[in-house]
Chain A
Amino acid sequence: MIRVGFVGFGRMGITHFSILNCHPDVRIVAVCDQSKMLLNVLKKRVDVAVYTDMSQMFEEANLDLVIISTPTSSHSEIVQLAIASNCHIFVEKPFSLTPAQGEQALSLLDGQQLVNQVGYVNRFNEVFVEVKRLITQGVIGDIQTFNSEMYGATVLKDAKSGWRGTTNLGGGCMYEFASHCIDLVVYLIGSPDKVVGSVMQSIFSAGVEDLVTSTFVYDNGCSGTISVNWSDETFRKPANIFTIIGSKGKIIADKHEYKIYLKQEDISNNYQKGWNTRYITEFSKPVRFYVRGNEFTSQLDNVIDCIKNKRIENVCDFSEAIKTDRIMADIRQDAVRALQEPDDGALNSPLLAKTGKKLSLWEKLRKFGERKNA
């Protein structure tokens, strides 16, 4: 039996618990969270030890695997504790607040036989897995350009307090939303050599960005854009849309279906010349236990599978996830440059003016400058 502990018991922690608790090879033995009330409710019904001090949990609970679902700012410290306790790790996305924090954690992993995975759940979505296969097979030829979009109605008013409204705790559209969108680029296309034309814009939030756009440039001549907005109320659920144009055709994919346009018929994949639509119903496979979507179960079962088979390499390991952290830092710096401000670190939030507010962009810029000079 694999002994599992949880740090952080919010929406994601609660979901992961349900999925893992009925895995035949897993025994959940401990949960750590700051909310004593939540722990009391849990303890009454489920046979686990509860902790508010995670060091104590790592010391006492003899964990094989830890599931970390805390705000991003705390990931680095918890990951380091877990490595010191020789514990396999699954941590929610994004991996770290800054690339430097991530690198430090990554260096500690060196030489350790520890399974490590970050919760970029789209890498386990059956449509995106299929799109990755098609690209790798060269079905649409050499990639010329792409557009990775993510929209949702997550923030429709200012989140005044809490970590979601605070950049250096891991709040904001960049960490929470754009990270998914960028990770899909890393997964399907690869890391860009340069990011240009980045904008981080506030729509409702005072302290964080609600919209991120950027252009990715590659040395091989390919380019692409990301467009991310978590304040778009027309989306019932967060949605990713990925469009890729290659020398032989084009793919438009979301979590439920993809359309592929080919200049020539592809017999081996059963595509006709022109447009072909494939729905997830056609190639989706059942999972052992379903809670929020097949991909949520598949990603955790992958962790368990890696531990059981002593397989360290992983489609979504720390070294892969840190690429997204680096790109997010690059976008932030590029957005600062775009506002002609000197760049003094990775945690600036160079927000454009709130839409609909009377402050003009230039007034906002001036205020921004004043704040920095002060």
Chain B
Amino acid sequence: MLDRVIFGDNQFFGINHMSEAKAQSLDERFRNLNAITDVIDIAYECGIRGFMLNTNDRSIEICDYLRKNSSRYPDLAMYPSMPYAHKYAAAVAEKGIFGALKDSILAGSSAAEIGKMVAKGGRSLFEQDMIKVMQLMIDVEMKMFRGLNVKVVFLQNIVTDLLLGYGVKDIFIGFAEYIRERYKAEPGFTTMNMPMTVEFLLDCGIENPVVCSSINKAGYFMNPSMKAYEKAIKDKKFRPIAMSILASGAVPAPEAVEYICKQPQIESIVFGASSRGHIAETKNLIDNYSQ
């Protein structure tokens, strides 16, 4: 069972899709780990047990904190999202695609793995076995979640959608199989093109996939159309998770939650907030409308 409510983390990392000024002020507020853990505490007190966490330098600290204080959060469920796209984009700009892949894998792998890679012929590994390379990258990013209860591992939308455009099935299948086998968790896919992603994942033979996408009454970030989203939710066999339900503030919370809860197929809602008032209000709204 997925958690009905999953607490999002964009606000902690200075991400706001609507306003660069708001993004900057969030970044300022959450500079200290304490400010982040205070908000996590509030969410937990409000009854939220699912927490999404994008992999980045800050999330390593957050995971360390959660592990050290595990007795305070006995039912905590983590929903990691990867890869750390900005880090790779910067590394690719500097060192090229293969340089960046090599560096990131070398930095996070054990000596035995590196030995195997070298034996297999270093660079040519990328050509021969992209799936193995992907597995090594997943291991690097999953390291920070060791010892925590992980329910779903999400592939970030920037990667899901880029690969979706290429239609490369083996990478999606490889990701799903590896997350299930190695981490005993569900593979999840975040996307800005939900109907197309769902169709593709079902084509890949990934049954009842967990797919996270913007779903809101404003139609914001719903490509190619809101109608196509509603139809996919109704007709396709998958496990929808809704994010951006407030459309960055364009939809009032009660309307936003009502719109989601009218579609009973939607299993979970991801939302992020920074104040006790907003967190409690949204959680209560979801609880009430979900009954």
Contact = CB atoms under 8 A, between A and B. Distances in A.
Chains A and B form a bound pair: yes
Contact of A281 (B23, B93, B168, B250): B250
A44 B158 CA distance: 22
Contacts of A256: 17-20
B203 to A, nearest CB: 13
A239 B21 CA distance: 11
B161 interface: yes
Contacts of A40: 127
Interface string B212-225: 00000011111111
Interface in B244-267: 247-250
B65 interface: no
Interface stretch (A76-84, A100-108, A288-296): A288-296
Interface in A279-334: 279-282, 284, 286-292
A290 B196 CA distance: 11
A286 B166 CA distance: 20
B121 to A, nearest CB: 12
B98 interface: yes
A41 interface: yes
B166 A45 contact: yes
A130 interface: no
A290 B223 contact: yes
A254 interface: yes
Contacts of A289: 161, 165, 193, 196, 223-224
A113 B230 CA distance: 42
Interface stretch (A12-20, A117-125, A190-198): A12-20
A22 B165 CA distance: 6
A154 B223 CA distance: 29
B35 interface: no
Given A257-B18, A281-B249, A286-B219, A18 B166 contact: yes
A17 B166 contact: yes
B127 A288 contact: no
A21 interface: yes
A22 B17 CA distance: 25
Contact of B98 (A37, A236, A255, A286): A37
Contacts of B220: 281, 284
A287 B223 contact: yes
Contact of A286 (B161, B224, B249): B224
B92 A19 contact: no
Given A22-B167, A41-B130, A256-B18, A292 B89 contact: no
B123 interface: yes
Interface of A: 10-11, 14-15, 17-19, 21-22, 37-38, 40-41, 44-46, 154, 159, 164, 234, 236, 239, 254-257, 279-282, 284, 286-292
24 contacts: A15-B162, A17-B165, A18-B162, A18-B164, A21-B166, A37-B127, A41-B127, A46-B168, A164-B93, A256-B19, A279-B19, A280-B18, A281-B248, A281-B249, A281-B250, A286-B223, A286-B225, A289-B161, A289-B165, A290-B161, A290-B223, A291-B161, A291-B162, A291-B192
Interface of B: 14-15, 17-20, 23-24, 27, 86, 89, 92-94, 97-98, 123-124, 126-127, 130, 158, 161-168, 170, 192-193, 196, 218-226, 247-250
